[in-house]
Structure 1
Amino acid sequence: MPDAIRHINLSHVVLPIDNPVSDAKVLTGKQKPLSEMVMLFVEVLTEDGFRGMGFSYSKRAGGPAQFRHLKEIAEVAIGQDPSDIAKIYDTLLWAGASVGRSGVATQAIAALDVALWDLKARRAGLPLAKLLGAHRDSCRVYNTSGGFLQASVDEIKDKSTASLEAGIGAIKIKVGQPDWRLDLKRVAAIREHLGDVPLMVDANQQWDRARAKRMCRELEQFDLVWIEEPLDAWDAVGHAQLSTTFDTPIATGEMLTSVSEHMALVNAGYQGIVQPDAPRIGGITPFLRFATLANHAGLALAPHFAMEIHLHLAAAYPTEPWVEHFEWLSPLFEEQPEIRDGRMWVPDRPGLGFSLTPKMRQLTRESASVGRP
C-alpha cells in the first residue's frame, strides 16, 4: 500500500525585524518601512510516520490571507500519496480555483508544496539538492540585509565588511531614491570601499523606462554584477529591452507569482538574470518548471530570499547561480547554513536540512490542524 498524508498543521507566525528597513518604495511613498515578516509554516505527517516542513511568507500584507486560504483547501491533500506532489498541487489549485492561479492563492499552496518536497527528500535520506540532482555542493552567496536605504554609507560599509569577514562573497545595496544623484554617490562610495568585491544594486521597481535607461548607463562604470528591478516587475518588454542594451546584466522576477508571469520575460526576449522566489511563484513544483524553461533559454539564476529553500534549488540549476543571504529568518530554524569562501554550502542533512525552533512556536499567532494527528 502506498503511504498517505495523514495530518497537516498550519502555523501563522509573525517575526519582528529588530531594525526596520526601507528600500526605494518607502522613500517614494509607496510603502511603510518593513518591520516584520509574516510566515506560513506547514508540517506534514504521513501514515508511515514520515514528516516534512515547508513555509511561505509575506511582507507588509497578505500573511493572514495565505493562512486562511490554505486552511480552507488543505483537506483535499489528506489521504493522497505524498510522493504525487504535482498531482496534489493540481488538486489544491482546483480546490481554490475561484480565486485564481497566482498571488495569494499559490503562495498559500507553496508552503505545503515545499513541505512535501522536504518530506520526499527526508524519506529518501537525501538533501533536497541531491534528490533533485545537484550540479554543485555550494553556491555563490551575496548579502542584501545590510544595504537598505535607511542606513548611512558608513553603516553599509561596516555591514559589508562584517559580511565579507563572515565568508559572504558579494554585497547588494539598494538604489532608486527620488534624487538619483544620491544613488550614484552611494554606489561610488561602496564600490570604492569594496574594491573588486562583486557588487549588485536593486532599484525595487522605482524607475520609469527613461530614467532606467539613464541610470543603467551611469551605473555601467561601477562594474556591477547586475542591476535589479529597474522597472515595474510586470514590465517584461522594458526589462527585455534593457537586458539587450547594456553590458551590465539586468535582474528581475522576484515579485512574479506564477510560471506564466515569468515566461512573459522569456517571450519578450529577456536576456538577463531571473530571480524566481519559490514561496512567491507557488512552491518548488512551479519553480522547477520555470527553471527548466529558463535554462533552455540560457538565462542565469539568482533566486530571491528564502535561502533555506533556494540553496537546494540553486545547487540543482545547470549553470552557476547566486543565493541571497538574509539572516532575518535565523531565529526560526535550529540549524544555520554553512558559509565560507564566498559560498553557501548545501547541508548534508536530509530534506531542506532545517528544523523549527521553540521561538517559532512562541511567535505563532494562530494554528490550524487538518486530518488525524
Structure 2
Amino acid sequence: MYLPLSPAISEEHVAAGRRQPVTEVAFLFAELGTTDGHAGLGFSYATRAGGPGLYAHAKEIVPLLLGEDPNDVGRVREKLVAAGASAGRTGLAAQAIGAVDVGLWDLKAKRANLSLAKLLGSHRDAVSCYTTSGGSLSVPADKVVENARRSLAQGAGGIGIAVGAQEVSHDVERMRAVREALGDDVPLIACADQQWNRVQAGRHARRLDEFSVQWLADPLDAHDTKGHAALAATLTTPIATGATLTSVDEHWRLMTADAAAVLQPDVAAIGGITPFLRVAALADQHHLTLAPHFATELHVHLAAAYPGGAWVEHVDWLAPLFNEKLAVENGAVAVPDQPGIGLSLSERSRMWTTDRIEFAESV
C-alpha cells in the first residue's frame, strides 16, 4: 500500500542533492486471523525505498505462521527470523517481520480484551506530545511561529523545529523567533535530521543551548555513536537519536556510550513491538527519556507503558489509513482504550492497496 503525501516532505538534504522528496510512504499490513474468530492488525512502513522488498520477504516467510499459537509471540517471531536468516536479522528482513509482530501483539491484546498499553502495563492514560509538521527548514520564521501557535491551540504540548541549515544564523534566527513568541514555558525540540558532521554539530549545537531546547534530535549520522557521545559531553542541551536504527544492539551501543539522553526508537525500523520492548527496558535501566519516532497511533501505547519520562511525536500522516482518530488535548495524546492497538483500516486505505496475498490452512 502506498500512502500519498501532499505536499511532499522536502528538507535540506533534498536541496543539497542527497535525497529525493518524500512523496509517499509504503506500508506493509498484516491481517492475522484465528480459528476462534479473533483478528489482529499489524503494519510496517518504508520511505523513499524498500516497500516492495518488505512485501517480497513477508510473502516468503508468512506461511510459517499457519497452525501456530498466536499467544506465543516470541517463539513465533523467532521462527520467522530463522526462516529469513540468510537475508539478515536487521534492516529490511526484520522490518518485514515487524508487521507480523505488531499484528500478533494486537491480536494478543484483543483476546485479553485489553488495549495494548494495558496489556503491557500502562503507566499513564495520556502521553505528552510534540509536533514537527510546521517547522521545516524551508518555512520562514514568521510562518513557523504561526504554525506553532496553531499546533498549541490544537492541543500539542511541544513544538519541533527543523535545524541543520548550512548557515547557523538561519537556525538561530528561527529558534529565537519562536522562543520569543511562545515564551519560556513551551517545550521546543530542535530536529537536525542527521545533517551535520562532527565539526558542524559542535559549532551549531552550542548556539542552541541559549534557547533551553528540550532536546536536539539527530545532530549526526545515527550510527556515529562516538560522535554523539563526544557532542553530548559538551552541551547542556540533551541529545536524542535512534529513529533510523534497526536493531536492539545499535540502541544498546548508544546507551552504554552515554551518547543520548533521549531515545527515539521506531517500531517499524527496529522490527516490531518485541524488539522495541527490549530497547525500552534497557532505556529504563539507563534512566533515559523515551520519545518514539513517527506512527503516533502505535507508539502512544508503547510510550504509555514506559516507566520513565515519555513523549510521542504527533504526526497526522497516517490518519487517512484508519477509521479511528487520536484525541490530542492539553499537550498530550490520549491512549486509546479499545482492545488491541485500537485501529481498523479505512475504505480509503483499501483503495490505495496495490497488492495483497492470502494464506490459509487447508481443511
Per the TM alignment, residue 180 of structure 1 is displaced from its structure 2 partner at its CA by 2.5
The alpha carbon displacement at 1:271 in A equals: 4.3
Measure, in 2, the Cα distance between the counterparts of 1:153 and 1:16: 27
Does structure 1 residue 153 correspond to structure 2 residue 153?
no
Does the 8 Å CA contact 2:67/2:361 hold for their aligned counterparts? Answer: no
Matches within 5 A, 1:281-360: 281-360=270-349
2:69 corresponds to 1:81 = yes
Paired letter, 1:86: G
2:242 to 239, 253, 261: 253
2:356 counterpart SS class = strand
Once residues 106 and 135 of structure 2 are traced to their aligned partners in structure 1, the CA distance between those partners, rounded to angstroms, is 31
Partners in 2 of 1:149 and 1:36 — Cα distance?
20
Asked whether the equivalents of residues 240 and 260 of structure 2 are also in contact (C-alpha less than 8 Å), the reply is no
Partner residue, 1:229: 218
DSSP 3-state at the match of 2:33: strand
Please tell me whether residue 96 in structure 1 is matched to residue 87 in structure 2.
Answer: no
Q: Is it true that 1:214 corresponds to 2:203 in the alignment?
A: yes
Give SS of 2:17's match.
coil
In the alignment, structure 1 residue 183 sits paired with structure 2 residue 171: yes
* Residue in 1 that maps onto 2:95: 107
Residue 120 of structure 1, aligned match among 108, 112, 116? 108
Of all paired residues, the percent bearing the same amino acid is 49
Q: Which has the higher strand share?
A: 1
Give the length in aligned residue pairs. Answer: 361
Structure 1 residue 372, shift from structure 2 partner: 4.3
3-state SS, counterpart of residue 344 of structure 1:
strand
Whole-angstrom CA distance in 1 between matches of 2:230 and 2:167: 24
TM-score under structure 2 length normalisation:
0.97
**2:15 pairs with one of 14, 17, 27:** 27
Question: Structure 1 residue 198 and structure 2 residue 187: aligned?
Answer: yes
Which position in structure 2 is the counterpart of 1:17? 5
Q: Would you say the 8 A contact 1:45–1:51 is kept in 2?
A: yes
What is the CA-CA distance between 1:177 and the residue it aligns to? 1.8
- What is the rounded CA distance, in whole Å, between the counterparts of 1:256 and 1:91 in structure 2? 23
Q: Deviations over 1:252-310 (max 9, x none)?
A: 00000010111111222334100000111010000001111111111111000011110
TM-score by length of 1: 0.94
Q: Distance in 2 between matches of 1:194 and 1:26?
A: 30
- Alpha-carbon distance in 2 for matches of 1:158, 1:60: 30
Per mean C-alpha deviation after superposition, the further-off stretch among 152-161 and 226-235 is: 152-161
CA distance in structure 2 between the aligned counterparts of 1:41 and 1:152, rounded to whole angstroms: 37
Structure number with greater CO (CA < 8 Å, separation at least 6) is 1
Q: Which amino acid aligns with 2:210?
A: Q
| DSSP-derived class of the 1:371 partner | coil
Shift of 1:340: 0.8
Taking the aligned partners of 2:137 and 2:20, their CA distance within structure 1 comes to: 13
Q: CA deviation at 1:194?
A: 2.0
Residue identity in the other structure for 2:182? L
**8 Å Cα contact 1:236/1:268 also seen in 2:** yes
Answer whether contact 1:128 1:351 (CA < 8 A) is retained.
yes
How far, CA to CA, are the matches of 1:327 and 1:199 in structure 2?
19
3-state SS, counterpart of residue 171 of structure 1: strand
Secondary structure of 1:370's aligned partner: coil
Which structure 1 residue ranges, 4+ long, deviate > 4 Å from structure 2? none
Amino acid across the alignment from 1:344: V
- How much is the aligned-residue C-alpha RMSD, in angstroms? 1.2
Q: CA deviation at 1:108?
A: 0.7
Is 1:61 aligned to 2:55, yes or no? no
Cα deviation, 1:344-369, whole Å, max 9, x if unaligned, reads 11111110011110000000011111
Matched, 1:130 2:118: yes
* Alignment gaps of 5+ in structure 2: none
What residue identity is the alignment partner of 2:131? N
CA contact (8 A) 1:24 1:175 kept: no
Alpha carbons 1:20, 1:34 under 8 Å: kept:
yes
Contact 1:23 1:175 in 2 (8 A): no
Question: Cα 1:53–1:315, aligned 2, differ >3 Å: closer, same or farther?
Answer: same
Task: Work out the CA distance in 2 between the residues paired with 1:137 and 1:225.
Answer: 22
Distance in 2 between residues matched to 1:193 and 1:29, nearest whole Å: 33
Q: Aligned-pair distance for 1:27?
A: 2.8
